[in-house]
Structure 1
Amino acid sequence: MTDPIPVAVPRKGRPLEAVLERIAAVSDDDRLDRLADSVSNTLRYEKAVTKGAVDADGGPYERLAEYSDPETPAEPEFTLLRDDRSGKPRRIVFDAATVDLGDVTVKLVGREEPFRALRTHEFALGFDSADLVLEEVVGIRAAGLGNISDINDRIDPVDTDVRVVTGLGDTVYHTLMGREDDRAPGAAFDREYLADYEGPLCISPRYERLVTAVLGTDALDGVEFVYPDANEEEEAAIARVGLGVYLTVTGSTAREHGLSVGEHLFPSETVLMRNAAERDESVPRVLRALEREAADSEIRV
């Protein structure tokens, strides 16, 4: 029996759920549907515990022992990490699961930063947010980046061997939005508006490089990045500043703050990546197993 092929995955959150949904979708095994539901429900509960929204029955070690069965490879394993929140509470996150995908067996291995694990050649394959690729290795140019399928063209091969293969379709958007009373009649908050705009643009500090890559340096001429105050909601900060970029699904909260939701500047999506320098024969087999007929992603790589 050959060893399972390791694939790096996020430990928690929307990207991990997207991976589990894809694994279940490409298999006829109902067990993988149950695996996806079980892991997602467990992590949502643990997130609520960490945030203080619910009181847990028992301590973290008791819950961890209840969730994990290391002696049964087919069952998921979880682990305990320190969360970044105030007080550094302990949080239970995904650790590993072994899944059969037809003629190939894959071991999903949780990593805090799967993209970086691929960059250091710990894995040949992995899943992570496309945002992290933009934040770390996509080149900054005068023109902006509008299509996620163009990411690979902007990766300097000297920086990394990692390339995007495909997306999983769990798309939300980095969206331009501004105060309705600041917008001229008939104008729209879009790239053309930004090209003529000078002044503050409110963004999350972690997205400075991403927003620069998406908009391009020409559009940002005369624009100053500003950031939300401590404990200030992003939508409230944008309403205070007048214009900003925020990762949004429906935009309903933005409208509650008197903001007009403008152009979807760039899709944020979980992506399957490979390290092109890793040429093991197992890699194409895993990629074929993960393919899906339904073109549900905006990525066309």
Structure 2
Amino acid sequence: MSEPVPVAVPRKGRPLEAVLERIATVGDDDRLDRLADRVSNTLRYEKAVTKGSVEAENGPYERLSEYSHPGEPNNPEFTLMRDNRDGKPRRIVFDAATVDLGDVRLKLVGREEPFRALRTHEFALGFDSADLVLEEVVGIRSDGLGTIADVNDRIDPVDTDVRVVNGLGDTVYHTLMGRPEHIEPGDDLDRDFCNTYEGPLCISPRYERLVTAVLGTDALDGVEFVYPDAHEEEEAAIARAGLGVYLTVTGSTAREHGLVVGEHLFPSETVLMRNAAERATAVERALGTLEVTEPTSEIRI
């Protein structure tokens, strides 16, 4: 069989789990289901070890040797990296796996920033959070952005060759939240509300460009971005500010802080991406295998 097509994937977390589920779905092979379960369970355990909620019996190198099976198809390899949190603890993360999908063979390669690896042409295909595309390359306009299907139209082809293909269905939402006393009776907490609102809007600092792209510069006229204090819960910070945008699934924690959960402004979802400048036959065949659209995905491109 020919050399596998390299595909950049996240090293850990929900996006990696979504990728492995997509691989298992298109591969229709019990071994790929077992791969997905094995990687997910291992990384959840290692996350608990890193956070100190579980004490490991063996050291990281012993565990790494136990987990990894280099060179064996449909089996994972792991590696050690430094976590960004205080103390920079070591953490075991996904490194690579070669998977057979019928007549297509892929080499899943863990990267901290798969999107950037595609931008620099290290990979032709990859998976990453749609948020990163908005944070880095989507053009800022006066009007807002409502769906990921519109993202490609706002990418300057001079800036990057990377394009979004479709989503994997692991959707959470950037959601508008506010204190009820800030909302007039009969008004909805939605984009139209933002068009007339002036005052503080609490967001995570990393999402300033994303929120600007999603709401548009016209809606942010008279709005001041404010941010949570160190170690402060986002919902608590939004309650203090009066209005904010935060990632949420159910909004239950927001309601516990006395907040009204408003419009889902934008879906946050793991996406399949391609570098459109890379058109090798093997890449096109791999893309044709991977680009099925999940029925739960917000993304239709």
In which range does the TM-score fall when normalised by the shorter chain? over 0.9
How is 1:162-241 mapped onto 2 (pairs within 5 angstroms)? 162-241=162-241
Contact 2:31 2:74 in 1 (8 A): no
Q: Which stretch has the larger CA shift, 181-190 or 136-145? A: 181-190
Tell me, in whole angstroms, the C-alpha distance in 1 between the residues paired with 2:201 and 2:115: 28
Contact 2:35 2:74 in 1 (8 A): no
Give the number of equivalent residue pairs: 301
Kindly state the Cα deviation for residue 37 of structure 1 after the two structures are TM-superposed. Answer: 0.4
Which residue number corresponds to residue 91 of structure 1?
A: 91
Runs of 4 or more, structure 1, over 6 Å off, are none
Per-residue CA shift, 1:74-104, capped at 9, x if unaligned?
3100000000010000000000001111111
How is 1:66-85 mapped onto 2 (pairs within 5 angstroms)? 66-85=66-85
Which residue number corresponds to residue 108 of structure 2?
A: 108
1:225 aligned partner, one-letter code = F
Contact 1:102 1:289 in 2 (8 A): no
**1:138 and 2:152 aligned:** no
Kindly state the Cα deviation for residue 26 of structure 1 after the two structures are TM-superposed. Answer: 1.1
Contact 1:203 1:244 in 2 (8 A): yes
Kindly state the Cα deviation for residue 213 of structure 1 after the two structures are TM-superposed. Answer: 0.3
Per-residue CA shift, 1:236-282, capped at 9, x if unaligned?
00000000000001100000000000000000000000001111111
TM-score (norm 2): 0.98
1:180 aligned partner, one-letter code = P
Contact 2:168 2:293 in 1 (8 A): no
Residues 160 and 105 (structure 1 numbering): CA distance in 2 closer, same or farther, change over 3 Å?
A: same
Partner SS state of residue 250, structure 2: coil
What percentage of aligned pairs have identical amino acids? 81
Tell me, in whole angstroms, the C-alpha distance in 1 between the residues paired with 2:27 and 2:102: 7
Q: Which segments of 5 or more consecutive residues in structure 2 lack a partner in the other structure?
A: none
Q: Which segments of 5 or more consecutive residues in structure 1 lack a partner in the other structure?
A: none
Tell me, in whole angstroms, the C-alpha distance in 1 between the residues paired with 2:160 and 2:292: 27
1:162 aligned partner, one-letter code = V
Kindly state the Cα deviation for residue 73 of structure 1 after the two structures are TM-superposed. Answer: 3.6
TM-score (norm 1): 0.98
Which residue number corresponds to residue 62 of structure 1?
A: 62
**1:39 and 2:42 aligned:** no
Contact 1:191 1:263 in 2 (8 A): yes
Which residue number corresponds to residue 119 of structure 1?
A: 119
Residues 147 and 294 (structure 1 numbering): CA distance in 2 closer, same or farther, change over 3 Å?
A: closer
